Amino acid sequence: MKKLIVCCLVQLFFINSLFALKITVIGTGYVGLVTGACLALDHDVICCDIDCKKIDLLNKGIIPIYEPQLQELVTKLCTSCRKKTGSIKFTCDVAQSIQEADVLMVAVGTPTDDAGRADLSILRKAFETIAANLNGYKVIIIKSTVPIGTGDTMQKLIKAKSLVDFDLVSNPEFLREGSAVNDFLYPDRIVIGTSSKKAENVMREVYNTWIEEHVPFIVTDVVTSESIKYACNAFLASKISFINEFALLCDVCDADVNTVAYAMGLDKRIGPLFLKPGPGYGGSCFPKDTQALKTLAQDYACELRMVQATIDANNKQRKAVCHKIEKIMHRDLTGKTIAVLGLSFKPETDDVRYSCAIDTIEYLLEKKALVKAYDPIAMDNFQKIFPNITYCQSWMEAVSDADCLVLLTDWEEFKKIPLRMLGTIMKQTCIVDARNLWSPVKIAELGYTLENMGRKY
């Protein structure tokens, strides 16, 4: 990958002048930053944000999120900029950034509101700023995940405020946190929603490198493109909920869910990915998007029972982890020391949004247990939600003298824990493995007590 990035940078200087576009990305969250940095391999990109503190950090070379390869990519781009022409720039002057661009990419947050709908207030503000600063034809791309029909609403918003010509494009992202740079550089497909041939041609220029690499490039209308994004996330979430429910069934039937998932995955119609049982899906997308899709469908009086069932199964799965802790501790958690390993919603990210660690730790505190937590990267973010639990500097410190070890995130580091050592440093060797990381056979040989998610071997 490192070689590829360097290679791309070298290529950049030869081919840049042929098709470099001026692209402004509005919003420097993980989608905006990754998109901006990756597009800067081919184009002149401005990443802007109303948060000037974040921009200051970026200008000092500090990436405010933990995302593998992103720091390296931005540093390389910036070092090269100093020598040659600029390809990535960070600023909080949003108005100026809009005026300078041919293409605008809106990648701001769309969190869930109290009614379960996507809150579009930040997006609306971004579009109002765009409308106020349109100074010539531009292609305006919605990268944020938005309810079906939002493109049309935003188009009307601009038309009501500006007479300048523009085209609106939906271009959903399919980036997984923790592997977002790789997902951007090697996508399974690129989806474009627009009713304008002119805008389609500009999008072909934006993604020229990928088109030349024969990445499937799907051009459709705006609402279909918006629907594709929700369909993908809801389907992936339903795959996870399916295997999670099946894991609970395997538990009671004494079957092995890992073998079930492996055999299922070999069926080409099913595929092996997203069949890993765990503590329920979390993160910034699946919980929010399944909820928003369900609410949106209800608004159209269209019931999506599969989506509802996916959400229900996920809520049940999060509680299942707590039930397993309760079971292993014989319903007596008062004053017990519980070591929680893993706080981020999945490995390779410091993101704790909708992490199952939040539900689990809330439950443990309610039951008056003492929580000792450790995560390789996410402790600073978690501390903002739970300032009063004990944070440890290593997994070893967390499990020392603990009555129970609860593994919530399958970080690489935890795979290497020498299980034999646990018997010598824990008070009681009770283990709840919510990611099926460890072999139950090995754990039984060591004489420890284990609860996991339907893994038998």
Contacting residues toward ligand UDX, per CB under 6 A = 173-177, 233, 236, 240, 274-276, 278, 281-283, 285-286, 345-346
**What DSSP element (H or E) covers 35?**
helix 30-39
- Catalytic residue chosen out of the listed positions 8, 285, 356, 404: 285
Task: Give CA separation, 448 vs 67, 250, 324, 451, in Å.
Answer: 36, 21, 15, 10
Whether the CB-CB separation of 193 and 221 falls below 8 Å is answered with: yes
Q: How far is the CB of 428 from ligand UDX (least distance, A)?
A: 28
> In 84-215, which residue ranges form alpha helices assigned H by DSSP?
94-100, 121-133, 150-161, 180-185, 197-206, 208-212
CA 366 – CA 130 distance, rounded (Å): 47
CA 226 – CA 220 distance, rounded (Å): 10
Closer residue to ligand UDX, CB minimum distance, 6 or 218: 218
**What DSSP element (H or E) covers 414?**
helix 412-415
Give the number of other Cβ atoms within 10 Å of residue 197's Cβ. Answer: 9
Closer residue to ligand UDX, CB minimum distance, 275 or 364: 275
Residue 309 burial by CB count (10 A; 0-12/13-18/19+): exposed, middle or buried?
Answer: middle
**What DSSP element (H or E) covers 139?**
strand 138-142
Q: How far is the CB of 104 from ligand UDX (least distance, A)?
A: 20
Closer residue to ligand UDX, CB minimum distance, 177 or 403: 177
Q: How far is the CB of 359 from ligand UDX (least distance, A)?
A: 12
Q: How far is the CB of 59 from ligand UDX (least distance, A)?
A: 26
Closer residue to ligand UDX, CB minimum distance, 310 or 429: 310
CA 190 – CA 188 distance, rounded (Å): 7
Say how many CA atoms lie within 13 Å of 406 toward its Cβ: 32
Q: How far is the CB of 103 from ligand UDX (least distance, A)?
A: 21
Q: How far is the CB of 282 from ligand UDX (least distance, A)?
A: 4
Minimal CB distance to ligand UDX: which residue?
285
Closer residue to ligand UDX, CB minimum distance, 209 or 233: 233
Q: How far is the CB of 144 from ligand UDX (least distance, A)?
A: 11
Q: Which residues pair with 218 in a beta bridge?
A: 191
Query: Tokens 């929700």 sit at which residue?
Result: 230
Q: Is 78 assigned a catalytic role?
A: no
Closer residue to ligand UDX, CB minimum distance, 130 or 275: 275
Closer residue to ligand UDX, CB minimum distance, 97 or 233: 233
Q: How far is the CB of 173 from ligand UDX (least distance, A)?
A: 5
Whether the CB-CB separation of 354 and 345 falls below 8 Å is answered with: yes
> In 300-407, which residue ranges form alpha helices assigned H by DSSP?
305-328, 356-366, 379-385, 395-399
Sheet holding 449-452, edge to edge: 390-391, 370-374, 337-341, 404-407, 430-433, 449-452
Closer residue to ligand UDX, CB minimum distance, 76 or 455: 455
Whether the CB-CB separation of 88 and 77 falls below 8 Å is answered with: yes
DSSP letter at 411 equals -
| Phi/psi of residue 46, nearest 5 degrees | -115, 125
Sheet holding 88-91, edge to edge: 88-91, 44-48, 22-26, 103-106, 138-142, 166-170, 190-193, 217-220
Catalytic residues: 285
